[in-house]
Amino acid sequence: MNAYLEITRPNVCFLTVFAVLVGAILSSTGNPIILLVALIAAFLICAAGNVINDYCDYEIDKINKPKRPLPSGKITLRKVVAYYFLLNTVGIALALLVSPAYFTIAIFNSIISILYAWKLKKIAIIGNITDSFLAAVTFISGALISMTFLDMLTSPVLILAGIAALTTMGREIYKDIEDIKGDKALGAKTLPILVGNSASMILARTFVILGAISAIRPYIHQVFGINYIISVIPCIIVLLYSTILKDPKKAQKIVKIGMFLGIFAFLVGTLMG
């Protein structure tokens, strides 16, 4: 059972749940039961996306991450496919109970996740943009529990989505540098393969710095108050610290910590102003 949990990358799933929760609270979602169903759906759909990602990365992970559940033999390919369909089907079914907009974005995200894992992640910049979109849209998904797509055009949730997109873009480029050996062996055309590690590191750091600076925007635009700006300072420090590291593996892990701290700051801002 540990392998089945590990392959879902629960830390990423909880990050998604927190982001959906922030979007929901910021849009004044009132029904706690509907909110709970939405959060469970988000966790399952995210978990399914991570599972299918590992399935598509099976050959690459033999080189880059041989201890992952699939390449290590803890789970078979056939069981992983069944597991993906179980998680995704239950997640989509729960999303249907939330709202038409939430169900629509859940379907869309599921399709994008499959395309990303299958083809898009191996294409320079396109794969990074796709993953950044999936990270950013979690905030929007939370708002769509009670809002329509039209309402979203003027929602402050879009600011938070933008911050998430920038930091995720940086982290994904770090991860591409980390995985360059396996990606190159299987013919992927990621950014580090095309332009080299040095240029990719500069670009990754640029996106992370932009994300750190953008974290101030919710306060400037009066989305959140003084409690938010105090809470977000550790996030900004951690993100900026990641940009002075030379090891992309360590840098992307530090960025992930910064993202968790950012989500916490968003929660503080949402609940306390």
Q: What is the CATH number of the domain that holds 13?
A: 1.10.357.140
Q: Which of 129, 147, 165 is the last residue before a domain boundary?
A: 147
Per-residue model confidence (pLDDT) at position 1: 63
pTM of the model: 0.85
CATH number for position 178: 1.20.120
pLDDT at 114 over 90: yes
Is the same domain home to 86 and 21? yes
27 plus 123 within the same structural domain: yes
If one compares 117 and 1, the residue with the highest pLDDT of the two is: 117
Residues 9 and 103 in one domain: yes
Distances in whole angstroms, Cα of residue 258 to Cα of each of 82, 156, 161: 34, 21, 15
Token output for 155: 């929602």
Domain boundary among 93, 126, 147: 147
Report pLDDT digits (tens) over 204-251.
Answer: 999 999 999 999 999 998 888 999 999 999 999 999 999 999 999 999
With a CB cutoff of 8 Å and minimum separation 6, the contacts of 129 are 169
Q: Are residues 133 and 175 in the same domain?
A: no
* Residues 125, 26 share a domain: yes
- Quick: pLDDT tens for 17-38: 988 998 898 887 678 999 999 9
- 32 shares a domain with 142: yes
Question: Domains in the chain: how many in total?
Answer: 2
Query: Are 140 and 161 in a shared domain?
Result: no
What would the mean pLDDT of 103-115 be, rounded to a whole number?
Answer: 96
Nearest in space to 204 (alpha carbons), one of 178, 182, 186, 233: 178
By residue range, what is the domain housing residue 131?
Answer: 1-147
Q: Are residues 213 and 180 in the same domain?
A: yes
For tokens 């992970």, the residue is: 61
- Which residue would you say has higher pLDDT here, 175 or 27? 175
Q: Which amino acid is at 236?
A: I
- The continuous run of DSSP H or E covering 121 comes out as none
Same domain, 62 and 8: yes
3-class secondary-structure state, position 176? helix
The backbone torsions φ and ψ at residue 123, rounded to the nearest 5 degrees and listed phi first, read -105, 125
Q: What pLDDT score was predicted for residue 252?
A: 94
Q: Are 244 and 198 part of one and the same domain?
A: yes
What pLDDT, in 10s, does the model give residues 62-86? 888 899 999 999 999 999 999 999 9
pLDDT at 40: 98
73 and 15 in a single domain? The answer is yes
Q: Which of 147, 182, 204 is the last residue of a domain?
A: 147
Shared domain for 85 and 203, answered yes or no, is: no
Residue 211 CA to residue 201 CA, distance in Å, equals: 15
Residue 47: predicted pLDDT: 97
